[in-house]
Structure 1
Amino acid sequence: MRARLFVVLPLALVALTACDDQSSNSAAAPSAPPPPAVDVAAPLAKEIIEWDEFNGRFHASQDVEIRPRVSGYVEAVHFRDGQMVQTGDLLFSIDKRPFEAAKSRAVAELASARARYQFANQEVERGQQLVTRGTLPKATLEQRISDRLVASADIAAAEADLRSAQLDIEFAEVRAPISGRISDSRVDVGNLVSGSGTTTLLTRIVAFDPIHFEFDMSETEYLSYERANRRGDLKSTRDGGTEIEVRLPDEDVWSYKGRIDFVDSAIDAGTGTIRVRATLPNDDGFLLPGQFGRLRLPGSSVYEAILVPESAIVSDQSRKLILTLDENNLVQPKVVRVGPNELGLRIIRKGLEKTDRIIVNGVLRARFGQPVTPNEVKIEPWPNGQPGQ
């Protein structure tokens, strides 16, 4: 009986030792983790127009300094500072009395000249009869004819003086030459203003409906547009057919639309740029001359572009890569050539097909040639063309 106990105990110890070894091996060899999860989508294929953007400022379509055409004392100011005025509105009244007196003198001078002419004409008619009878020398008749011509010229001069006096009376009422918003009055009632030599600035009127937007385009950009126009890809910027859009610094949407109506005749040799002007409607007068804005104009015709989010693009030194998945969900990089932003996404010009599956989120978790767990999503353009808006 004692011998059996000695045999059983060693066998039990061996069994316990074997169980401990199996447990240790199980803890030392855990199962492999699953492939990392990433968001995967097909590139967005969409018909778009590429836009080029420029900074510029608004300018009045008309800007007029109001100055008097006659000298005198201001009798009245007929507008409120900053109000809207229409063409022909009375702005200032200058004392007319000196001009009315000058007109009266001109009327009297005209009457005197006409009387002299009438007398000279009668003298010529009598002289012609006397010359025919031989009782008046021919030289005397010629002198009377000359006097009549002088009297006729005096009438013309008197009529011109009268018209000048009438114009001075008219110019004593300073009226708005254009419609627009008037500035403040630079003179008060009783001030003496000058209409000759160094004229007096009375006020200023600016018209901003329509309003102009001016910006500078580089020589390279100008050549690009001209070549595209000659190929028939874009409309000429000189014939008024190029549509543009403008937004203000505090706006995310392109609120204002217009057309390019002027391209300068020469490139500035100092800056290498050419001045371009667009015209926009401004019915409500919200846009003011001097305001800063951003303009965009078509840089291409309509075409189908491939677009991806910025998060899908990886930089590798000087190259741009996009991580794609093959049929086995293995990561395969593709070298691409990127274009500008559009609709909040990046245009891919080369290296990607619209049937590819690309990683749009989680690129840092992906490794070249390694599998991933794809979560299928869809790429959507941003409504305002601004990511996160």
Structure 2
Amino acid sequence: MKYFFSILIALLFISTQAAAEPAAENVTEPSVFDEGALSCLLEPSMEVELSSEVTGVLEKVTVQRGDRVKKGQVLISLSSRVERAVLATARAKVSFAKRKVKRNEVLYKKGLLSDHERDEMLTEQRLAELLASESYIRLKQRETKSPISGVVVERYLEPGELVDEEPFMKIVALNPLHAEVVMRSEFYGKIQKGMDVLLFPDVVLGQGYKGTVHLVDPLIDAASGTFAIRVLVPNDELVLPAGLKCRIQFAPQLND
């Protein structure tokens, strides 16, 4: 009988302890695909303020604010009358030096011209060609070409004004665009470069636009517990303007 009561007390103790322990919770890691739409801001992928290599008076501007430009397109020309005259003189000297070498080639073959004399003429020709090349470079410095394809957003000078080291024009690249997004630190490592996203502008411009994660910031801001990512958004037709607020969404089907 005493043995029976001992077993009963032991069973009651075990059942009481089991009831006192909380049930294990089903903890799941946060998923970036469950976050819904995240705020972002569309920005140009590149912004350039152009300056001239040399100082001079602005003679011609080929573009206006809002114009599209291509890489390598001439944007401004400075007054270049002096440089053109110098180049013409240098080319005339090259032409004369070549004729001189040609005329004396027969004398050299007949032994009537020493190696030293022939070498002097060839050197004169080479020096004239180098001076002509230098003059051409100085002339081309009077033009400034666009280093990127983009859109003119600022134009600071007009023909007749002095161009110096200060910028005379600003160009931005709108294809592609960049979308900057701030993420919570618990998603660090879950977002990889190359992941696809859908971008939705705050202004209704049609359906979502496909983008790709281009950059994941390697630093986490300790104060806010966040890090930044950059999404690359193709914009071939320049439908999307820079400066527009937007939302992005990570869709699992886009990253399968």
Q: CA deviation at 1:73?
A: 0.7
Q: 2:193 aligns with which of 230, 233, 238?
A: 238
Corresponding residue number in structure 2 for 1:104: 88
Deviations 1:106-134, CA, capped at 9 Å, x for gaps: 212212432453466455434xx36xxxx
Corresponding residue number in structure 2 for 1:181: 151
Structure 1 letter corresponding to 2:214: F
| Contact 1:208–1:285 (8 Å) recurs in 2 | no
Equivalent pairs counted in the alignment come to 218
Say whether 1:267 aligns with 2:218: yes
| Contact 2:55–2:162 (8 Å) recurs in 1 | yes
Q: Percent identity?
A: 16
Q: Secondary structure at the match of 2:219?
A: coil
| Contact 1:102–1:165 (8 Å) recurs in 2 | no
Say whether 1:84 aligns with 2:35: no
Q: Secondary structure at the match of 1:98?
A: helix
Q: CA deviation at 1:213?
A: 0.9
What is the CA–CA distance in structure 1 between the aligned matches of 2:74 and 2:127, rounded to whole Å?
36
CA pair 50-190 structure 1, distance change in 2 beyond 3 A: same
What is the CA–CA distance in structure 2 between the aligned matches of 1:107 and 1:301, rounded to whole Å?
65
Q: Secondary structure at the match of 2:180?
A: strand
Corresponding residue number in structure 2 for 1:144: 117
Say whether 1:256 aligns with 2:208: yes
Structure 2 letter corresponding to 1:268: L
For structure 1, list consecutive stretches of 5 or more residues without a partner in the other structure: 1-48, 131-139, 226-236, 303-389
Structure 2 letter corresponding to 1:263: L
Say whether 1:54 aligns with 2:38: yes
What is the CA–CA distance in structure 2 between the aligned matches of 1:285 and 1:191, rounded to whole Å?
35
Deviations 1:214-242, CA, capped at 9 Å, x for gaps: 224455313234xxxxxxxxxxx433x51
After TM superposition, the score normalised by the length of structure 2 is 0.66
For structure 2, list consecutive stretches of 5 or more residues without a partner in the other structure: 1-32
Q: CA deviation at 1:56?
A: 2.9
CA pair 66-243 structure 1, distance change in 2 beyond 3 A: same
Structure 1 letter corresponding to 2:250: L
What is the CA–CA distance in structure 1 between the aligned matches of 2:184 and 2:120, rounded to whole Å?
71
Corresponding residue number in structure 2 for 1:295: 248
Q: CA deviation at 1:245?
A: 2.5
Corresponding residue number in structure 2 for 1:63: 47
Q: CA deviation at 1:186?
A: 0.8
What is the CA–CA distance in structure 1 between the aligned matches of 2:120 and 2:105, rounded to whole Å?
9
Q: Secondary structure at the match of 1:184?
A: strand
Q: CA deviation at 1:143?
A: 2.4
After TM superposition, the score normalised by the length of structure 1 is 0.46
| Contact 1:84–1:179 (8 Å) recurs in 2 | no
What is the CA–CA distance in structure 1 between the aligned matches of 2:230 and 2:39, rounded to whole Å?
11
Corresponding residue number in structure 2 for 1:191: 161
